Amino acid sequence: MKKHILLPVLLLLLIIAIKPAQAQRVLGGLSVGANFCQVDGDQFYGFRKVGLNFGPMVIVPFGKNRNWSVSMELLYSQKGSFHRGSTDSTYYRLNLDYIDIPVMVHFTDKKIISAGLGFCYGQLIGKSESQLFVVTPNTDFLPYDFSVLGEVSLRVWNRFWINVRYQYSLLNLRTVTFKNPNIANDTWQRNQYNNVISLRLTYIFKQELPGKPKKPKGEEE
């Protein structure tokens, strides 16, 4: 495993391994869903590339009513771009596979709806690209990505939540030069950025459910 992600992964494992006396304030979760992606700067538009997004998380609630929380995730996340043109010359596919480590702050209202903001470190672990005869990469893809993200989650049943997340790269993934195949010496350069919308289902273990607070012992019927 690359040194870039070793420290965050160790931190995640350390939180998970907290002894039970302390772990009562730490919640675990698991998310699975899909990324709908595009790469800004590839000359194509639309969130047509679909990829996987899944992995575990830890959540630490805080505040008087535990409405606030901090979360950290370890995700496998497929990003990239896809365009199906009318001819082979306009067909394009870019696959970028990341290990993402988002850290977010959330506010939850009435244990039903939640919103969060944060940052994400991503380590590139795989890539493939097709149909590049009119594109010349000036640089290779960065081996890592740093992005900002926001999300809204809605409890749908029990401890299951539907989560919609938007994520955008803060760093330039690479710079490419495009060439017009119909006009000699007509070229231009673009910087490229990941642009991702995620739709996920999340289960949070041992999370408090909405409803009336438990009565103190001695007052129960």
pLDDT digits (tens, 9 = 90+) for 130-156: 865 567 788 899 999 999 999 999 999
3-state secondary structure (DSSP) of residue 60: strand
Looking at the DSSP bridge assignments, the partners of residue 167 are: 149, 196
CB 83 within 8 A of CB 126: no
Per-residue pLDDT of the chain (221 residues; tens, 9 = 90+): 455 555 555 555 555 544 443 445 789 999 999 999 999 998 888 999 999 999 999 999 988 888 999 999 999 999 999 988 766 557 889 999 999 999 999 999 999 999 999 999 999 999 998 865 567 788 899 999 999 999 999 999 999 999 999 999 999 999 998 877 777 788 889 999 999 999 999 999 988 888 755 545 554 44
Structure letter (DSSP) for residue 89: G
Domain boundaries along the sequence of the chain: 3-8+27-204
Task: Supply the pLDDT for residue 30.
Answer: 96
Ramachandran region, residue 143 (left: φ > 0; alpha: ψ -120 to 50; beta: rest): alpha
Task: Supply the pLDDT for residue 14.
Answer: 53
CA distances (Å), origin 120, targets 94, 108, 189? 21, 20, 27
The fold of 3-8+27-204 is Porin (2.40.160)
Reading the block at residue 33, the tokens are 């869903």
Mean pLDDT for the chain overall = 85
Structure letter (DSSP) for residue 14: H
Task: Supply the pLDDT for residue 191.
Answer: 94
Q: Output helix, strand, coil percentages for the chain, rounded to the nearest 5.
A: 10, 60, 30
Using alpha carbons, select from 131, 170, 168 the residue that is nearest to residue 44: 131
Task: Supply the pLDDT for residue 221.
Answer: 40
Separation CA 152–CA 164 (nearest Å): 5
The whole-model pTM stands at: 0.84
Residue type, 163: N
Reading the block at residue 205, the tokens are 């273990």
Distance of CA 19 to the CA centre of its chain: 29
Reading the block at residue 19, the tokens are 């002894």
Separation CA 177–CA 135 (nearest Å): 6
CB 189 within 8 A of CB 178: yes
Task: Supply the pLDDT for residue 20.
Answer: 43
